[in-house]
Structure 1
């Protein structure tokens, strides 16, 4: 970027877009409440493009084009590396759990469709068999994904915790937007 573009003045629409993006970063847990309040305050009074760009220098782009390394520095203290490994394991359980959850939704949606088709359209005598087959398919997905009962319990706890935290961050972001009048 050339220095001239940094000095171009911004209006309410640019400030509002910056506030929206900061709200998204906050809701996704990339910045804490103190950083969010500080940055939104600066965004609300930004005068130039440079003022707004400074708020996002250390944040990834929302479109995913700015990769963020998920590994700790090799010279980091051992507790930090261990904590990072533990977090990576939890993230991996969360990822596998979301995939299993999507497959479950698909399996049981197909089962319901087949159930009603068998019952009302094709007049099958054994239309009920789709439910045990759906259960076997769901078990198969868990076996292929190596998703144990313990993993499922951890996933449920993580997912519930993540949803509560996100809801709280969204609530705080909305309050902050109202405070700033944007």
Structure 2
């Protein structure tokens, strides 16, 4: 399917791409800002070609381990996103000139609720 770059993609392909990007981030191939930028590109991608452009300068398969073992259950990329959100909130706080810019810090609990709040069977009771 790589020869059909303009074919539309769905949520499953974007999630798979984000998992792959997370593995590259865990392997140290990306900085936090690169991961943040590329994650945004993945989230807004509508075609396979747009996804492929995110990975042009990365190896085709990351090193084994981490999320590649198949035991991550989706938690790895969620944890990474959760780690990046406070940095994004802090950057927005200082860079966006609006009144009540402290509200950007509400992104932290909101993101946690979105990523982990509705998940069943995530440990605990």
Calculate the TM-score normalised by the size of structure 2: 0.51
Indicate yes or no: 2:106 matched with 1:173.
no
Change (3 A) 1:34 1:172: farther
- Structure number with greater Rg is 1
Separation in 2 of the partners of 1:31 and 1:6? 24
Distance 1:62 1:172 in 2: 21
Task: Indicate conservation of the 8 Å contact 1:7/1:48, yes or no.
Answer: yes
Distance 1:171 1:30, change over 3 A: same
Aligned partners of 1:63 and 1:22: how far apart in 2?
9
Unpaired runs of 5+ residues, structure 1, are 65-168
State the 4+ residue runs in structure 1 displaced beyond 2 angstroms. Answer: 169-172, 176-179
Aligned residues: 75
- Whether the 8 Å CA contact 2:14–2:43 is kept in 1: the answer is yes
**Does the 8 A contact of 2:25 with 2:31 survive in 1?**
yes
Aligned partner of 1:25 in structure 2 is: 24
How far residue 62 of structure 1 moved from its aligned partner, in angstroms, is 1.7
Task: Give the CA RMSD over aligned residues.
Answer: 2.9
1:39 is displaced (CA, Å) by 0.2
Q: Which runs of 5+ in 2 are unaligned?
A: 64-75, 86-109, 116-125
